[in-house]
Each structure stands twice: as C-alpha cells, then as structure tokens.
Amino acid sequence: MYKISKQFAFSASHILEGLSGDHPCSRMHGHNYIITVHLKSAELNEVGFVKDYRELSFIKKYIDDVLDHRHLNDIFDVNPTAENIARKLYEIFVKQAPQIYAVEVSETPKTTAIYEADGK
C-alpha cells in the first residue's frame, strides 16, 4: 500500500457548544487550522503517483472559498470541534478523490483530531 498526504491551512473562528460557561472554548476564539489529507492506493499510476498532489487543488479552493476567515459555526451543521470538522471535510473531499482515507485537523501545534474511514 502506498500512502501520501498534503497539508492545507486556514484561519477561522468558532464557539464550541455544550461546554460549561467557564470553559474557554465556549467563548468565540480563533485558530490557525492545519488540515492534513491522507490518500492511499495499492497501485501507482503510470507516472508513479498515488495521485498528483496538484490534483488536490480543489481542496485548497474549497478551503479558501468556504472556510478561510469565516466563523465555522455558520458553515457546519454540527458543533465545529476538530473531530466533527475532520469527518465533514472527509465526506466532502472523498467525493472528488476516492483515494482519501483520512483527514486530520489541528487547531494548535499540540493537538490533532483524525477522522479515518472504516474499512478503507
């Protein structure tokens, strides 16, 4: 199995619902998000790629157009935790790149949430 990944970045604000009022993440705050998209394939194409990194430019376009400098509570129909964002982005991106099997979301340099498709 061959595996590749590519990172994308955006800045956005959010409020996490369902936390106690004294939890800092219940207040509006922002992150410099890093998204890592993971792809895999048992076979390489004729060039020797799982997929040309340049063919992932649709992800950069989505992030720039939809997420960058936005309030994520207005974008997603779920609480915008890192876990939920990872799953939502997986579901959106896999439609155009079926080799994607996982999406990672980092809100800070010390934290990462990963959504990985079952049995892929």
Ligand X SMILES: Nc1nc2c(c(=O)[nH]1)N=C([C@H](O)[C@H](O)COP(=O)(O)OP(=O)(O)OP(=O)(O)O)CN2
Q: Which residues are known to be catalytic?
A: 25, 69, 107
Query: How many whole angstroms separate alpha carbon 93 and alpha carbon 99?
Result: 10
Cβ distance to ligand X smaller for residue 50 or 103: 103
Residues 6+ apart with CB under 8 A from 54: none
DSSP string for 66-95: IITTEEGGGT-SS---HHHHHHHHHHHHTT
Residue 75 near ligand X by CB under 6 A: no
| Mask for 70-89, x = binds Zn ion (CB under 5 A) | --------------------
Residue from 28, 64, 111, 116 touching ligand X (CB under 6 A): that is: 111
**CA dist 47 to 2, 43, 51, 74, Å?**
14, 11, 9, 41
Nearer to ligand X, 25 or 66 (CB): 25
Which one, 16 or 67, has the nearer CB to ligand X?
16
The residues that touch ligand X, with contacts defined as CB under 6 A, are: 16, 25, 81-83, 107-108, 110-111, 113
